Structure 1
Amino acid sequence: MKLFPTDNFPHVTGNRVSLLQIAETDIEDLIGISFYDAVRAENVQQAWEMQAKINQDYLDGNSIHWGIADNQTHKIVGTCGYYRGLDKGEGELGCVLLPQYYGKGYMTDGMSLAIHFGLQTLGLKRIWAATDQHNGPAIKLLERLNFVKTASLCDGEIEFELIQANS
C-alpha cells in the first residue's frame, strides 16, 4: 500500500520546529537515538543501515519517520513518526529525543505536528503510542497531548490512545 509520495517526502513546518526527512549528514548526531525493531545503533554504520531500512519502510508505505528540527538552529533534536497500523487507517506514534533537549518543549511541538499530519493529511482514525510504565516523562508528554491510557501490555509497557475532541 503506497500512502506517501516517493518523490517528495512530506515536511511539516511549525512555529518552533519542523518535521523533515533525516539526511545522511544527520546520522552521526543521531546514533544515540537511532533504533530499528527496538535495537539501538552502536555506531555510524549501524545507524546508517537502520536509516536505510526506515527509508525503505517509508517507500513501502509502512511508516514515516521524521527528524525534529529546531527552526532557528536547524539542528535535529529528536525523531518521531508513525511506525505501524497505517495500512488499517491508524498509526502507532513513537518518538525519541536527544538528552540535551529534554524538558524544553521540543517533543511536545514535534508530536503535535505529527498528530495534526496524521489526522489531517493521512486521515488516520486512531493514533496510539506505547511506552514503559516507568517512563514518567513520556507518560506526561502523552497525557499533555490528549492521550489516555488504554491498556497494560506485556513487559511493563502501557498503551495510550489519542482522544479527539469530536470522538
Structure 2
Amino acid sequence: MKLFQHDYFPHITGDRVSLRQIKDADLDDLIEISFYDAIQAKTVQQAAEMQSKINQDYLDGNSIHWGIVDNITDKIVGTCGYYRGLDKGEGELGCVLLSKYYGKGYMTDGMSLAIDFGLNTLGLKRIWAATGQQNVPARKLLERLNFVQIAEADDEIEYELRQASGK
C-alpha cells in the first residue's frame, strides 16, 4: 500500500530540531546508529546499503525514516520514524540517538514532531513503540511523550500513545 503520494520526502521543522531525509554525506556520522532488520552497520558502505533499503521502504509506503537535525549546527543527532503497521493506519515509532547527544532533549523534540506528523498528516489511528526492559532512558522518553505500557514479553515492553481526550 502506498501511503506517501508525495513527490518529495517530508521535511518537518521544529523550534530546535528538524526531521529530514538522510543524505549520503550524513552516513559517516551515523554508522553507530545505522541498523536494518536489527543488524548494525560496521562500515560506511554497509550504512549506505542499509539506507538504500530504508529509502526503498519509504517509496513502497512501508515506513518513513528521518534524520533528527539540530537546527543550529545542521548536524544529525539521531534518527526516528515509523517502521511497521502503516498499511493498517497504525505506526510503530522507533528512534535511536547518537550517544554524544544523550540527555539533551533532542529525542523528545524529534519524536514530538514525528508524533504530530503521524497523527495530523498520516492520520494514524494508533501509534506504538517497543523497547527493551533494560532501556530505562527509552522508557522514560516514551512516558514523557504520553505513551503507556500495554504489554510485556521476555525482555521487551510495548507502549501505546495515549492522546488527551478530545483529540
TM-score band by shorter chain is over 0.9
User: More deviation in 4-13 or 66-75?
Assistant: 4-13
Q: Which residue number in structure 1 is paired with residue 109 of structure 2?
A: 109
Q: Which residue number in structure 2 is paired with residue 3 of structure 1?
A: 3
Q: Which residue number in structure 1 is paired with residue 54 of structure 2?
A: 54
Q: Is the 8 A contact 1:6 1:59 kept in 2?
A: no
Q: Which residue number in structure 2 is paired with residue 158 of structure 1?
A: 157
Question: Matches of 2:49 and 2:121 in 1, distance apart?
Answer: 29
Q: How does 1:16-165 map to 2 (within 5 A)?
A: 16-154=16-154, 156-165=155-164
Unpaired runs of 5+ in structure 1? Answer: none
Question: Matches of 1:53 and 1:8 in 2, distance apart?
Answer: 17
- One-letter code of the match for 1:40? Q
The offset of 1:7, in angstroms, is 2.1
* Percent identity (aligned): 77
Question: Matches of 1:129 and 1:150 in 2, distance apart?
Answer: 10
The offset of 1:4, in angstroms, is 1.1
- One-letter code of the match for 2:160? E
The offset of 1:5, in angstroms, is 3.4
Q: TM-score, normalised to structure 2's length? A: 0.97
Aligned CA-pair RMSD: 0.9
Aligned length: 166
Question: Matches of 2:153 and 2:11 in 1, distance apart?
Answer: 33
The offset of 1:6, in angstroms, is 4.8
Q: TM-score, normalised to structure 1's length? A: 0.97
Question: Matches of 1:143 and 1:153 in 2, distance apart?
Answer: 18
Question: Matches of 2:51 and 2:137 in 1, distance apart?
Answer: 26
